[in-house]
Amino acid sequence: MNGCFLKNMTKTFVVDGSIVRALNGLDLNVPKGAFISIVGYSGCGKSTLLKTIIGLITPDSGSLDFVGMDGRTGIVFQEPRLIASKSVKKNLALALKHQKDPAIKGKTIDEVIAMLGLTAFSNALPWQLSGGMAQRVALGRALCRQPELLLMDEPFGALDALNRTRLQDELIDIYLNKAITILFVTHDVCEAVFLGNRVIVMADGQVSRDIPVPLSYPRDKTSRGFISIQNEVLEAIVEEDKPHDQCGQIIGTRRKLCQKQRLREVTPG
């Protein structure tokens, strides 16, 4: 099977003198062409996982293999991380530094800009863009690299509901048209089920549950099947979210919120 395979991945950090295991012998198979959503409570290792795959963090042990994939990756963070002094076009051009042919470079940038509906803003500076547009540029920058594996770390987390919904739809279009593999980290269970064809629940630096989402696109968030999978994911998160001495109170509050969200979603009307 082609894809990206992580085996026994470990990474520890020292935070205020205590050791934190961000990745704790994690095994994960990401088949080529999959769209995997990753959820889990804060600090369970989701972002560390993405940063390890893209090479920002060196793991303490474990292996990362790309089979049938060239390992080209792109990443989108929660913040657009655009260079304030560069126009949209120039921000995208940064991602194409290996492309020496200016004609191909220009064509790739123009195509990505058109695909994301940013043509009118191609020469705009980041401060002239709305939050949603800036995040589109960040997505465009990742897509310019024509990645086989696109990593997304809560990319829509800071957007308003309208922009978030639009970008979710656009991302599904990109996924379906580009046959790209996506690893999508989110805190929003509804978003995870809406986008992914698998939802991975992470806890304590490991994969605790792998829940398939056998629903076709576009998905109806109010359908019985959707709500049922969403509840299953919520249950899995709450199950893994075992309180311990230091943060019992926070986790307790979060659990109540999860239950509240679940109740709201299963209650008709």
Partner 1 sequence: MGTMKILKARVLKQSAFPLLLLFIYLMVCRYNLANPYLIPRPGQIGNTFITLVAKGILQQHIFMSLRRVFIGFFITLGAALPLAVLFYFSHRLSQFFLGTLHFLRCTPPLSLVPLLILWFGIGEASKLAVIILASFFPVFLNTLSGLEQVDSQLLEMGDTLELNKREKIVHILIPEALPTVLTGMRLAFGYSWRALIGAEMIAAASGLGYMILDAQEMARTDKVFVGILTIGFLGLVFDMVTMRIIEKRFPWAVKEKI
User: Applying CB under 8 A, which residues contact partner 1?
Assistant: 54-56, 74-75, 77, 79, 81, 83-86, 94-95, 97-98, 125-127, 141, 145
Residue 85 CB, shortest distance to partner 1, in Å, is 4
Of 79 and 240, CB closest to partner 1: 79
Residue 244 burial (CB count, 10 A): 7
Amino acid at 51: K
Residue 182 CB, shortest distance to partner 1, in Å, is 16
15 touches 45 (CB < 8 A): no
Residue 225 CB, shortest distance to partner 1, in Å, is 36
Cα 206 to Cα 114: distance, rounded to the nearest angstrom: 39
Helix (H) or strand (E) run with residue 238 in it: helix 224-240
Give the position of tokens 């995208």: 92
Cα 241 to Cα 239: distance, rounded to the nearest angstrom: 5
Residue 51 CB, shortest distance to partner 1, in Å, is 8
Structural tokens at position 24: 């704790």
Residue 95 CB, shortest distance to partner 1, in Å, is 5
Query: What angle do helix axes 131-144 and 102-115 make, rounded to 10 degrees?
Result: 140
Residue among 246, 205, 244 nearest 12 (CA): 205
Residue 126 CB, shortest distance to partner 1, in Å, is 7
Of 64 and 125, CB closest to partner 1: 125
Of 95 and 115, CB closest to partner 1: 95
Of 125 and 227, CB closest to partner 1: 125
Of 50 and 202, CB closest to partner 1: 50
Q: Is the dihedral of CA 183, 217, 160, 210 positive or negative?
A: negative
Of 98 and 264, CB closest to partner 1: 98
3-state secondary structure 127-164: HHCCHHHHHHHHHHHHHHCCCCEEEEECCCCCCCHHHH
